[in-house]
Chains A and B, each alone.
Chain A
Amino acid sequence: MATARKGGMDLLSELTSNIKRDRAGGSKATAQKITKIFADVIASDMWLNATELMKLIKQMGAKLIAADPMAFYIGNIVKRIAHIIRMQSNNCNVPLYEEKPKENEENLDNPLMEMDSLNFLIGEENKLDEIPLVKTASSMNDTRAKDPAYRDFKSNLEESLLEIQTDIEEAYGAISFHCREQFQDNDTVLTIGYSSTVLELFKDAKEKSDFTVVVAENSPENSGKTMQKRLSSLGIKTILLADTSIFSYMSKINKVIISTRAIMADGGLITDAGVELAVLAADYHTVPVIVVSALYKLTPLYPFDNTTYNKIVSPKTVLNSKECKFGEKVDVIVAKYDYIEPEYISLYITNVGCHTPHYIYREFAEYYSKEELHKV
């Protein structure tokens, strides 16, 4: 038991420090690592009942989230696992005690959130009766390894975790599948900067149709250059475009396909800086903007403007050391992220299908429980 605990915690601290130093890789790789750690924890003997497990998951989650608060997907995975624990404890009759003051008032405020999802409401009405609404305190002591409820709970959890893991693993394939119909021959598609999701779907769409990709450079990091290199090595016609020329080239572009850091609760996006200007240009030219994202980027938080969730990075990338002579008298600001309002987006494509900005909020109810919604 002691070794398992140590192993899990070691992995956790290693991952945390990697995330802090921005060395953990892309969001998919990190998400896979995180789910692996949580799956290990669930499979281990580190917890004796649902309440302990919840506590443990939340503690570990808090550490990971603190490593990079702007990597929303970490928090999302933690919330998703918490949601699953809550659901399974209901299903298996395993009691779960959490400190929730004023729970009743919250429910009254937001009656819609009480329902699990629209699908649930329409299709599986009967299940509502099965969920025990009141948990008895006496069942707490019975949550031992020999208890069949406990065993069910654990195996169900392991199953659900496996589901999440496969979801993450197959996310790119599923997104590419849903994206296929968006491509037509002779399309000119604009994308901004580097994204492995977008790269994968172009790779997939290449087989079916003949299109040209225009990659905006996305300065100052210029990740578009990497994207252009990768795409042209795949044999896709690719053109690199300077950020300043996006507006003028928009008239030649059929659709904009972008990836995102996070899809927020209002359907807005947190993306790399520079996407907002491109999306506005697309709006002016009435070019559809398609956002592709795996569901673990669905973030139940509300940003209001560019400042709510943003990061200011070193101005080193912007300044020209030879020509820059103004010293400390001038503030040089380099933003890392942009917030994009949902009205500029035509379509969201996730690994479960296509959504409009009006419907995307329903996905949140399906993936997180009300306890976690809108909490950091």
Chain B
Amino acid sequence: MDPNKPTEEELKKIKEEKKNELLNNKDLSKEEKQKLRKLKKAEDKKRKKELAKKKAQEKKQDEKQGKKEKNKKEPKAMGDFGKPKKNTPARRERIDSTYDLPSGMDNVTVTIDEIMNEYYGKLHSEVINLGLKLVSEKIDDASLRCLAILRAIIKFVKDYQLDERKRIEEDFPKRIKQIADFLKRCKPFTAGIEFAIEQIHASFNNVFKQTEEEARTNKYSFEKKLELIKDSMVEEIKTFAKMRIIGAEVISQIKPNDVVVTYGSNHTIKRVLQTSIEKGINFSLIIVSQGKEDIESFELAEVLSKTGIDLVFCQLNSLPLVGRKISKVLFGGTSMMNNGYLLSKAGTASIACWAKSKMVPVIVCIESFKFSTKAVVHSLVTSEIKDGEDGVKSKLNNKYDITPSKFIDMVVWMVPYSPLCEIGCFPAVSMSIISGHT
């Protein structure tokens, strides 16, 4: 990506604003005004042509890369340039503005067309790609989403270029913020992702200070300094992903002959189950699926069916019959609130409520990066209208819900060492003590 582009565009904007001011100025003569108008029209045409070219180029590149989903959506954007369609499939509407996502997100109103129009060429292509995937809800899982975002940012850092006249310490955080803002518009961030972005900012500050000193003593050139910063930033982000997400230690609470219930599939839960199976623990599993569209749970069932454990697959409504002999309920989660409430896939609270009424322990397995500093007490988190398949509109379909801490017996903290609890398990109500120390 050319780092000079945004500045050029900014300049253009400033010029345009000045011209508009001139146009509105009553003191100008008619002739002068007409001239200015003509000039403006010509410029507008030029710009449109440039944009079209840019798009065509991008499209070619994508075709080479063989990105199917982009190819599908590209023609729409081209054909409808500047006018977002009313019923773009990925359009999501917030119907109840009083209930915001706990991590304080803006409304999700971005469409694929809007991404094309607004952000094409301004951001790294990898980030745009990810944005498209997020809008079309291809990556749902909190951990996987965080990993994907980190991966995109790593790609961005690797390709990062800067003019010598500019200051890295100002430009780099600005760019990261720009990317974060864009991705946030595509799909609201979870607490985990927000934490990861914070960590990137923090580690940039450290890295920058260190390299600055090094450069001063060794008298490095600007390019070398930039390379050093880039390398260590990539390293920092990779370590974060390794330590906190991919490599977080699995503490399995599954004992032999347990009958375990999980809800849908989740990166964390998948790891817990697989580790338990690898350890040779003999247990049976009930996978509760959200519905026909819940592809992840089908995948989990498929993967685990190869290991030969006892597997039962059912829908939420059949759980009271299927799960009458269960001994444990395991949940993953999107984030853990400061007051011990769990933000997770819609339906989790129902299962937890049922399990509690049956006196079955509910265990939440969660990585420490998903701990949120916010506290939430209501269950109704976010509402999205999804068009029904057969013409039934306005179906309320929550993406997430909040499970009260009352229903959670234990939280398993997936981190190798902590000063507060060596084993990594604690009651949900103690969440506020723990979250201050992560």
Q: Which residues of A contact B317 (CB under 8 A)?
A: 218-220, 243, 273-274, 277, 335, 338
Q: Which residues of B contact A242 (CB under 8 A)?
A: 291, 346, 395-398
Q: When the two chains form their complex, are residues A228 and B392 in contact, meaning their CB atoms are under 8 A apart?
A: yes
Q: Which residues of A contact B421 (CB under 8 A)?
A: none
Other-chain contact of B305, A228, A239, A319, A330 (Cβ < 8 Å): A330
Q: Nearest chain B CB to A231's CB is how many angstroms away?
A: 12
A-binding segment of B36-44, B59-67, B373-381: B373-381
Q: When the two chains form their complex, are residues A338 and B379 in contact, meaning their CB atoms are under 8 A apart?
A: no
- Known A-B contacts A219-B317, A331-B313; the reply to A320 vs B295 at CB < 8 A is yes
Other-chain contact of B388, A240, A284, A323, A331 (Cβ < 8 Å): A240
B-binding segment of A41-49, A134-142, A246-254: A246-254
CA distance A146 to B397 in the complex (A): 69
Q: Does B277 contact A (CB under 8 A)?
A: no
Q: When the two chains form their complex, are residues B299 and A323 in contact, meaning their CB atoms are under 8 A apart?
A: yes
Q: When the two chains form their complex, are residues A245 and B324 in contact, meaning their CB atoms are under 8 A apart?
A: no
Q: Which residues of A contact B292 (CB under 8 A)?
A: 220, 318-320
B389-430 vs A, CB cutoff 8 Å, 1 = contact: the mask equals 010101111100110100000000000000000000000000
Q: Nearest chain B CB to A91's CB is how many angstroms away?
A: 45
**Whose C-beta in chain A lies nearest to the C-beta of B300?**
A326
CA distance A281 to B387 in the complex (A): 26
Q: Does B318 contact A (CB under 8 A)?
A: yes
Q: Does B314 contact A (CB under 8 A)?
A: yes
A-binding segment of B10-18, B204-212, B347-355: B347-355
Q: When the two chains form their complex, are residues B395 and A241 in contact, meaning their CB atoms are under 8 A apart?
A: yes
Q: When the two chains form their complex, are residues B380 and A277 in contact, meaning their CB atoms are under 8 A apart?
A: no
- Known A-B contacts A247-B350, A318-B292; the reply to A220 vs B315 at CB < 8 A is yes
Which A309-366 residues have C-beta < 8 A from chain B? 310, 312, 318-320, 323-327, 329-335, 338-339
Q: When the two chains form their complex, are residues B312 and A247 in contact, meaning their CB atoms are under 8 A apart?
A: no
Q: When the two chains form their complex, are residues B295 and A326 in contact, meaning their CB atoms are under 8 A apart?
A: no
Q: When the two chains form their complex, are residues B380 and A251 in contact, meaning their CB atoms are under 8 A apart?
A: yes
CA distance A301 to B347 in the complex (A): 32
Q: Does A144 contact B (CB under 8 A)?
A: no
Which A187-224 residues have C-beta < 8 A from chain B? 214, 217-220
Size of chain B's interface in residues, with CB distance under 8 A? 50
Q: When the two chains form their complex, are residues B322 and A326 in contact, meaning their CB atoms are under 8 A apart?
A: no
- Known A-B contacts A244-B290, A306-B321; the reply to A334 vs B302 at CB < 8 A is no
Q: Which residues of B contact A331 (CB under 8 A)?
A: 311-313
Q: Which residues of A contact B379 (CB under 8 A)?
A: 247-248, 250-251
CA distance A291 to B425 in the complex (A): 42
Q: Does A158 contact B (CB under 8 A)?
A: no
Q: When the two chains form their complex, are residues A318 and B357 in contact, meaning their CB atoms are under 8 A apart?
A: no
Specify which of B305, B308, B351, B395 lies most central, judged by the most chain A CB atoms within 10 Å of its CB.
B395
**Whose C-beta in chain A lies nearest to the C-beta of B358?**
A280
Q: Does B335 contact A (CB under 8 A)?
A: no
B307-344 vs A, CB cutoff 8 Å, 1 = contact: the mask equals 01001111111111110100000000000000000000
Q: Does A307 contact B (CB under 8 A)?
A: yes
Q: Which residues of A contact B347 (CB under 8 A)?
A: 243-245, 247
- Known A-B contacts A247-B350, A248-B346, A249-B380; the reply to A318 vs B321 at CB < 8 A is no
CA distance A338 to B316 in the complex (A): 12
Q: Does A63 contact B (CB under 8 A)?
A: no
Q: Does A229 contact B (CB under 8 A)?
A: yes
Q: Which residues of A contact B394 (CB under 8 A)?
A: 239-240
Q: Nearest chain B CB to A342's CB is how many angstroms away?
A: 14
CA distance A332 to B321 in the complex (A): 12
**Whose C-beta in chain B lies nearest to the C-beta of A276?**
B320
Q: Nearest chain B CB to A320's CB is how many angstroms away?
A: 5
User: What is the size category of the interface that chain A forms with chain B?
Assistant: 35 or more
Q: Does A83 contact B (CB under 8 A)?
A: no
Q: Nearest chain A CB to B153's CB is how many angstroms away?
A: 31
Q: Nearest chain B CB to A272's CB is how many angstroms away?
A: 8
Q: Does B431 contact A (CB under 8 A)?
A: no
Q: Does A28 contact B (CB under 8 A)?
A: no
Other-chain contact of B315, A247, A318, A338 (Cβ < 8 Å): A318
Specify which of B302, B350, B381 lies most central, judged by the most chain A CB atoms within 10 Å of its CB.
B350
Q: Does A14 contact B (CB under 8 A)?
A: no
Q: Which residues of A contact B305 (CB under 8 A)?
A: 326-327, 329-330
Other-chain contact of A280, B315, B354, B381 (Cβ < 8 Å): B354
Q: When the two chains form their complex, are residues B299 and A240 in contact, meaning their CB atoms are under 8 A apart?
A: no
Q: Which residues of B contact A330 (CB under 8 A)?
A: 301, 305, 311-313
Q: Nearest chain A CB to B269's CB is how many angstroms away?
A: 17
Q: Nearest chain B CB to A264's CB is how many angstroms away?
A: 16
Q: When the two chains form their complex, are residues A326 and B396 in contact, meaning their CB atoms are under 8 A apart?
A: no
Q: Which residues of B contact A334 (CB under 8 A)?
A: 314-315, 318
CA distance A247 to B354 in the complex (A): 11
Q: When the two chains form their complex, are residues B353 and A248 in contact, meaning their CB atoms are under 8 A apart?
A: no
CA distance A298 to B148 in the complex (A): 57
- Known A-B contacts A277-B319, A307-B324, A332-B314; the reply to A247 vs B290 at CB < 8 A is no
**Whose C-beta in chain A lies nearest to the C-beta of B321?**
A335
Other-chain contact of A274, B289, B316, B378 (Cβ < 8 Å): B316
Other-chain contact of B320, A248, A252, A277, A327 (Cβ < 8 Å): A277
CA distance A327 to B313 in the complex (A): 12
Q: Which residues of B contact A273 (CB under 8 A)?
A: 317-318, 320-321
CA distance A324 to B394 in the complex (A): 28
Q: When the two chains form their complex, are residues A219 and B395 in contact, meaning their CB atoms are under 8 A apart?
A: no
Q: When the two chains form their complex, are residues B313 and A332 in contact, meaning their CB atoms are under 8 A apart?
A: yes
Which A246-285 residues have C-beta < 8 A from chain B? 246-252, 273-274, 276-277, 280-281, 283-284
A-B contact pairs, 23 of them (CB 8 A): A219-B291, A219-B316, A228-B392, A241-B396, A242-B291, A242-B346, A244-B290, A244-B347, A245-B396, A273-B317, A277-B317, A284-B404, A305-B324, A307-B321, A307-B324, A318-B314, A323-B299, A325-B302, A326-B301, A330-B301, A330-B311, A330-B312, A339-B320
Among all A-B residue pairs, the 4 with the closest Cβ atoms: A274-B317, A244-B347, A335-B321, A329-B305
Extra pairs beyond A323-B299, A330-B301, A338-B321 (16, CB < 8 Å): A228-B392, A244-B347, A244-B398, A247-B347, A248-B346, A248-B349, A251-B379, A251-B380, A280-B354, A280-B357, A281-B353, A307-B321, A318-B289, A319-B292, A331-B313, A335-B322
